[in-house]
Amino acid sequence: MFVVLLGPPGAGKGTQAQRIAEATRLLHISTGDMFRENVKNETELGKLAKTFMDRGELVPDEVTIKMLLERIGRPDASAGVMFDGFPRNVVQAQALDDALAAGGNRIDRALLISVPDEELIARLGGRWICRDCGRLYHERNDPPKVAGKCDHCGGELYQREDDRPEVVRTRLEKQKPPAALIDHYRAAGSLREIDGQRSLDAVTASLLEAIR
């Protein structure tokens, strides 16, 4: 099964993708995590991506699609994937459709998580992430047992550079899923809309129901 998670920055795509990957056999692929890994390792791709990420803008399609296609070409992606943060527009969606079709597959579900702007700002401002395992926390909504430490691996928690208020403003202006992308999946019959302004468990339950 191939599933895409759509939603504005802070909607809960990463958090829910981690939970769904644990509950299913889907491989979690996050283009945001892939870019951050490249930034951390100071690769050429990372240096390029950082110039866009720091401004709250999307990395150019050409670069992003190439990275994603290389990733889904690996054997561990053949049985099923949960895409988090990809696609962001119709060009990326079409590239993904074409690549899956070449292997006789397609996107089975596109899950759109909706959350109002005021809530997104509060979520991004309070987000903490484990430096070692990538587990996501929120200082108010989903805090770690010990402040600054990951419950799962004991790693140090950090806040993302692009969660600064001025960058968040640009991300919310420029990175909400465009209507044409939503229509792309609605026309294919795979779109399901999920109310993301509920508890983490309630959202997970709705997403799993939409997949099963």
Q: Which residues bind ligand AP5 (CB under 6 A)?
A: 7, 9-15, 31-32, 35, 52-53, 56-59, 64, 85-86, 88, 92, 123, 126-127, 136-138, 141-142, 162, 171, 175, 196, 199-200, 203
Q: Give CA separation, 48 vs 29, 59, 89, 205, in Å.
A: 20, 8, 20, 38
- CB of residue 208 to ligand AP5, shortest distance in Å: 14
Which residue, 2 or 15, has its beta carbon nearer to ligand AP5? 15
- CB of residue 78 to ligand AP5, shortest distance in Å: 21
Residue closest to ligand AP5 (Cβ)? 32
- CB of residue 53 to ligand AP5, shortest distance in Å: 4
Cα distance between residue 115 and residue 182, in whole Å: 15
Active site residues: 13, 88, 127, 160, 171
Which residue, 159 or 190, has its beta carbon nearer to ligand AP5? 159
Which residue, 20 or 196, has its beta carbon nearer to ligand AP5? 196
- CB of residue 22 to ligand AP5, shortest distance in Å: 14
Which residue, 3 or 203, has its beta carbon nearer to ligand AP5? 203
